[in-house]
Amino acid sequence: MRRKYEIDRLRRQIRSSAPLKVVIGGGQTSYEGWIFTDRDFLDITKPHDWSNLFDPDSIERLLCEHVLEHLSEQECASTLAECYRYLKPGGLMRIAVPDGYRRDPAYVAEASPPNDGHKVFFNIDTLPPLLASVGFSVLPLEYFDQNEQFHARSWDESEGLIMRSVRFDRQQDFRRGELYYTSLIVDARKP
């Protein structure tokens, strides 16, 4: 009964939102103007859950912070295809995942599989090609390269706020010089 109530509530929010901006796997987080979902009401690996809430080409923005690493590679590929399907042409999906090229011991111990249910440890050489294979054009925002050099370009948090980023995170346990907890962050745009 609670699930039906929550799905009906989400549908009402979706119908009244313009532009439609959705956080997938957002749990209890809340940002003004964004609709938050969690696995109980949108299992992103199930096409039926997507079609139960959204119309194809209806979402302006998707935000996915530290979710994809909990899926298998096959689940990631099918989930990203669903994200692509439901984004409007020109729509943006901002993604953050633990960065497989950040190799300091505290970070690796925290972020690498199977810790915290993680199944995949993406890096700048694996995530963008996966997104491109679905049809997205990809712009890296923050990442370590294979030589452990950190790269960052400025990005607008109104397009999707990533808390585990060079600008917003201050977790002391992960401090490395001027960096704290960082993520591999990319913008994936549907042409």
Task: Find out whether 93 and 136 touch, Cβ atoms under 8 Å.
Answer: yes
Q: Where are the domains of the chain?
A: 2-189
Question: Using one digit for the tens of pLDDT, what is the confidence trace for 116-159?
Answer: 999 999 999 999 999 999 999 999 999 999 999 999 999 999 99
Task: Find out whether 24 and 13 touch, Cβ atoms under 8 Å.
Answer: no
**pTM of the shown model:** 0.94
Q: E strands within 37-84?
A: 59-65
CA dihedral over 146, 179, 183, 121, signed as positive or negative: positive
d(CA 122, CA 104): 15
Q: Is 148 left (phi over 0), alpha (psi -120 to 50) or beta?
A: left
Question: Using one digit for the tens of pLDDT, what is the confidence trace for 70-129?
Answer: 999 999 999 999 999 999 999 999 999 999 999 999 999 999 999 999 999 999 999 999
Q: What is the second-level CATH architecture of the domain 2-189?
A: 3-Layer(aba) Sandwich (3.40)
d(CA 18, CA 21): 8
Contacts of 153 (CB under 8 A, 6+ apart): 140, 141, 142
